[in-house]
Amino acid sequence: MNLVSLTSYINAFAFPLTAFLELSGSKTNKNDKIATEIKNVFLLIFLIATISYIVINYYSTESSNSNNTNKNIAEASRYIDWLLTTPLLGYVYYLLGVKYSNYKGSPVPFFILPLFMILFGYLALYNKKFYIISFIFLILFFNYVRSVQVSIQCYSNKCVKKSLNIIPYFFYIGWTLYGLAFLIPNVTQQIVSYNILDFVNKIIFSILIVSIIKKY
């Protein structure tokens, strides 16, 4: 089994496993509607990602003995996954701001900016000029992440601040690395990078956040 298949199968197994563990673990306060909503959003993200990786694994295996059609299907599945889950990940951080600092901003940019970032990222596969536009939407999104980060630092208690301090860097660093991985000329290395980044920016991200909302 090559590294592409290995990392893809790990993700296909890890997403449903993480969803199960988060469901079966200690419960959040039923009266805490935001915490419940965060968990539900993560479950939706994991459902989409699991389906995506099942499709990726199937068509990637088939493409080794076929034409580029199956490879294109696997690639499209990945981008559909990102198109749906990336705005949801942004929304999770917005909800953290509401929960821990009574953040007053609109949730709309947390959906729209990642959505257009991925859309133009996909178009960049066919015209590299769209890559710059995609990155512009990422930078604009960082501005809203920063606004939530500042709100949490100003209005949350000391323990919450410390626990949430690392979360924005999943966006600043983790999401930027996707854009850099796009530039990798070797397809195998690029796909492995995407798989690792998906694991970190969805699974590790969710584990940290769910542990925080259960504690505070």
d(CA 85, CA 11): 15
Q: d(Cα 109, Cα 114) in Å, to the nearest integer?
A: 8
Q: Tens of pLDDT along 160-173? A: 888 899 999 999 99
pLDDT digits (tens, 9 = 90+) for 94-143: 999 999 998 999 999 999 999 999 999 999 999 999 999 999 999 999 99
- What are 181's two structure tokens? 């991985």
Domains, the chain, with CATH or none: 3-23+32-215 (1.20.1070.10)
Identify the pLDDT of residue 161.
86
Secondary structure (DSSP) of 159-212: HHHHHHTTTHHIIIIIIHHHHHHHT-S-HHHHHHHHHHHHIIIIIIHHHHHHHH
- Note whether 118 and 83 are within 8 A (CB): yes
> What is the average pLDDT across 191-203?
97
Residue 60 confidence (pLDDT) above 90: no
| The predicted structure's pLDDT at residue 71 | 82
Higher pLDDT, 134 or 71: 134
Mean pLDDT value of segment 179-190: 94
Mean pLDDT for the stretch of residues 35-51 = 95
CA distance 204 to 14: 11
Q: Which of 59-63, 93-97, 120-124, 181-185 has the lowest mean pLDDT?
A: 59-63
Interval 151-162: pLDDT, tens: 998 988 888 888
pLDDT above 80: residue 23:
no
